[in-house]
Amino acid sequence: MREIALTVGALAGLLCVLIALAAVVFGITPLVFRSGSMSPAIETGALALSKTTPAVDIQVGDIVNVTNAAGNGITHRVIEIGAVGSDSVELYLKGDDNAEPDAEPYVVSEAGRVLFSVPKLGYAVTWLSGPVAVFAGGVLVGVLLMVAFRPRRVSPSETDEEPHGRHSRLPTSGLVVLATLGAVALSSTNPPLALAAPLTDTSTATSGEFTTVAPLPPLPVPGDPTCVNKPGVLGLIGNYVTVSWPSAGAGYTYKWTLTQSGQPDATGTVTSPTVDIENGLLLFGTRTGTWNFSVQTVSGTRQSIAGRRHTLIMSLTTSSLNLLPAARCGVLEQQSRVAPQAIPAPTTTSPPETSTPLVPSTTPPATTTTPPATTTTPPTTTTTEPPPAAVEPPSAPVTTTTTTAAPPADLISPQSSPSGSAVATVVSVDGSPTLQITDSSGDIQYSGPISSSSEYGYGVAWASGEQLWLLGPSQLVRLDGTGGGWSRTVVDPASGEVPAEISALLN
C-alpha cells in the first residue's frame, strides 16, 4: 500500500514538473478569467492556455492576451488588425459580451493566443496558487518524507533477498521526494501568470463606460509633401522625382495617388513616408501634363483623408538629349481652399458694433443738455471708427499676397499661340529655366528645361499650325501639340520643314 501511494505521488509530482517545464519551453501561459466580457465563448472562472505568438501570425477572430497602457492584462477577441510594420501590428480588440470595442488599440510585436479553455477550472487553479495550497503542499512533502524514509521493522520471515528488495525501493522514495519538492517549488514560485496579468474586470464595458469613446479614432492626416527633382541615367535620361512627407508614426503605411481629369489614376502603397515617381516605369505608361499627387495614412482597412496635394509635371522629354519620358516637380497646392473656414473678420468686426451702442448711450445726455454737444460728439465717433477699419483690411491682403507668391517667376512674358488655345512661358523652377506650355484653362501640358543664347535669348516663337519653335545656335527644335500632349522634334534648319516666319528669325 505504501509503495502504491509513493508511486502515485511520484507520478503526480513528475507530471507537474513536466507541465511546468513545457510551459517555460513552449511559451504556454495559464489564464484565469475573472469577468464575463468574453461570454459565452469563455465564462467567468474558466482556465485557458495561451501560447506566445508573433504578431504577424495573429489573425482576425483570434482571442489574444495583451497588456494595456496601465499594465493590466486584457484578453479579448481580435476584430481588426491595423498598421503592419516589420515585426509589429496594431490590434483592435473587443469582448464578445461588450457593446463597444476596447478604447485603445494595442501595438504589439507578440501576444498570447488562446489555445483552449476549460470552464470553472480557473477557480481550482486560483486556490492552488494561494498561500493555503502552498502550505498544504509543504505538509504533503513532509508526510511523504516520513513515509519514504521511516525505518521498517525486519521480520524474521524475510529471506536473504530482502536487502535486494529494499535497494529497489529506495530510488522510488527519492523520486517521490524530488518530484514532490519540484512540483511544490514550481507551484509556489510560478503561479498562473493570469493572476499577475489577467483579464481585467472588463465587465465595466457593459455598464456603459465605453459609450462616450469612439470605437476607432481617426487616422492622422499626412503632412505637406515635398518634392525633389532627381536626375536619371547620366543626369539626362529618365529624370524622376522623390516625394516625401512627415511620418505619421510607427506602424502606419501610406497610399499615394496621382490624378488628372479624364485619365485613370495611378496609385501605390509604401511603408515609409517617401516614394520615387518615374514617368513611364512606375506608372505603367507614359503620362503627360500636370498630375496631382496626394497621400493618405493607412492602417489595416482604414484610410485617412488625403493631405495637401503637390503637382507633378509629366513630359515626354526633358531636354534635346533625353530619350525617355520624365517627371518634374510642380508646386504645392495653395491653402486658398482652407481660407473660407478661417475668417476671423466677423469676430473682429463685432466688437466695434458693441462699442458703437455705448456712444449713443452717452450721447442722449449730451442731447438733453445742448444740441451743439450732440453735433460735436458724432465727429469723435466717426474719427474713432476708421482706425479699426483701417487696421483690419490690411490683414486680408497680407494673407492673399502670401498665398499668391508660390507660383514661379516668369523669365519671359507669356506668348499665345496663333489660335489662342495654348500659352508658352519660360519660368524659374528650382532656379532652373523651364519652358511650360499651358492650355486655355491654365493646366500645364508641357514642362521641360530650356537654355538661352546670346543670339536668340530663349528663342521661343510660335508658327501657324500650333507649332512652337525653339531657336538656338546649335539646333532648331519644334514642339507639336497633339492629343493633349506635346512631341519634341529636332529639325534641320536647311530642310523645307521650317516655316517662312521661323526662317526669317534664323541668323
Give yes or no: residues 110 and 180 share one domain.
yes
Give yes or no: residues 174 and 39 share one domain.
yes
Give yes or no: residues 172 and 32 share one domain.
yes
Long-range CB contacts for residues 308-312, cutoff 8 Å, separation at least 24:
308/224, 308/225, 308/332, 308/333, 308/335, 309/333, 310/225, 310/226, 310/227, 310/243, 311/444, 312/227, 312/241, 312/243, 312/258, 312/277
426 to each of 11, 449, 505, how far by Cα in Å?
92, 9, 19
Check if the beta carbon of residue 479 is closer than 8 Å to that of residue 470: yes
- Helix 386-403 to helix 371-384 angle, to the nearest 10 degrees? 20
Total Cβ atoms within 10 A of residue 461: 18
481 assigned to some structural domain:
yes
- Helix 162-189 to helix 131-149 angle, to the nearest 10 degrees? 170
302 assigned to some structural domain:
yes
Give yes or no: residues 11 and 49 share one domain.
yes
355 assigned to some structural domain:
no
Sheet holding 444-449, edge to edge: 415-416, 422-429, 432-439, 444-449
Sign of CA dihedral 422, 426, 427, 433: positive
Q: Which domain holds residue 105?
A: 2-152+161-196
Task: Provide the 3-class DSSP secondary structure of residue 180.
Answer: helix
In the listed set 400, 423, 454, which residue is the last one of a domain according to the structure? 400
Check if the beta carbon of residue 489 is closer than 8 Å to that of residue 498: no
207 assigned to some structural domain:
no
Give yes or no: residues 27 and 102 share one domain.
yes
Give yes or no: residues 424 and 331 share one domain.
no
| Total domains, the chain | 4
Q: Which of 405, 459, 409, 458 is nearest to 429 (CA)?
A: 409
Give yes or no: residues 319 and 376 share one domain.
no
Give yes or no: residues 68 and 168 share one domain.
yes
Give yes or no: residues 298 and 259 share one domain.
yes
Per-residue pLDDT in tens (0 to 9) along the chain, 507 residues: 666 766 766 676 676 677 677 667 777 888 888 778 888 889 888 888 899 999 888 999 999 999 877 777 889 999 988 766 667 788 889 989 888 888 778 888 889 999 988 888 877 777 666 666 666 667 777 776 666 666 666 555 555 554 554 444 445 555 555 555 555 555 444 455 443 333 334 333 333 333 333 346 788 899 999 999 888 765 555 788 999 999 988 778 899 999 988 888 888 889 889 999 888 654 456 678 899 999 999 887 778 888 899 999 988 765 555 567 788 899 988 764 433 334 344 444 444 444 444 444 444 444 444 444 444 444 444 444 444 444 445 544 544 444 444 456 667 888 888 888 888 988 887 677 888 888 888 878 777 778 888 888 888 998 887 888 888 877 888 888 766 667 778 888 888 888 888 888 887
144 assigned to some structural domain:
yes
Residue 150's Cβ-side half-sphere holds a number of Cα atoms within 13 Å equal to: 10
Give yes or no: residues 393 and 423 share one domain.
no
